[in-house]
Amino acid sequence: MADRTDELYPFIYRGLLTEESLDKAGRNTRAKLDGAETEAIKEKLSYDMLEDSSLVSAKRMSLVYTAIHAFENMVRDYVKSTLIDAHREAWWEKVPEKIKKKVNTRMEDDAKFKWHGTRGGSEMEYCDFGDLSSIIVVNREDFELTLSDIEWAKSVLSVLERSRNIVMHGGVLAVQDIERIGGNIRDWIRQVG
């Protein structure tokens, strides 16, 4: 097991160094968090009080989380826009009742705590990642144009949800898990666009 960990750290560290070098060389990015803003956020979060080893591990997994986060929101947009294209204003009626009930509860809960930010402005943003797969399955005819194999779609989203949950709850993924995430994201984007 230690051998895998020994392989993971150099792999991720080389990736971080590559990213940093590309940024220093002035690569174009769509959105950029500059050094001053990063330092201000670190100060507000009391980074200086946290253990270095925990921060290094968290930084590694933040790269993984960033990819999964972006992917999850792409899938949310895809599911919502597909339902809107098929059902216009009635799109939310096509979501299973169990999910709608959970979303309604979450939205009501957010409304109670006005001092804190919300998950978002749309019902779709209150759905769990796993709910997206359920919505696709229930409305398979609306998704068949881009997802000809619904079972494949369920499988990809299930694997990514598992990895997401591990990272979100402080876990550290192995290199093969990270590679699997990348492969699944690439396959999904090639299929769905």
pLDDT (tens digit, 9 = 90+) per residue, 166-177? 999 999 999 999
- Together in a domain, 29 and 98: no
Q: Is 32 helix (H, G, I), strand (E, B) or coil?
A: coil
- Together in a domain, 133 and 184: yes
- Together in a domain, 42 and 56: no
pLDDT at 35: 85
Q: Could you tell me if 125 and 69 are in contact, meaning their C-beta atoms sit under 8 angstroms apart?
A: no
- Together in a domain, 8 and 56: no
- Together in a domain, 39 and 58: no
- Together in a domain, 23 and 72: no
C-alpha torsion 125→128→130→132, nearest 10: -20
pLDDT at 1: 47
pLDDT digits (tens, 9 = 90+) for 103-147: 999 999 999 999 999 988 899 999 999 999 999 999 999 999 999
The pTM assigned to this predicted structure is 0.77
- Together in a domain, 81 and 35: no
Sign, Cα dihedral of 47, 52, 58, 62: positive
- Together in a domain, 85 and 37: no
Q: Report how many domains make up the chain.
A: 2
- Together in a domain, 86 and 58: yes
pLDDT at 121: 86
- Together in a domain, 31 and 105: no
DSSP state of 95: S
Longest Cα separation, the chain: 54
Query: Could you list the residue range(s) of the whole structural domain that residue 13 is in?
Result: 1-49
- Together in a domain, 62 and 31: no
Q: Is 103 helix (H, G, I), strand (E, B) or coil?
A: helix
Lowest mean pLDDT among 20-24, 53-57, 94-98: 20-24
- Together in a domain, 15 and 103: no
pLDDT digits (tens, 9 = 90+) for 33-88: 788 898 999 999 999 999 999 999 999 999 999 999 999 999 999 999 999 999 99
Q: Could you tell me if 125 and 119 are in contact, meaning their C-beta atoms sit under 8 angstroms apart?
A: yes
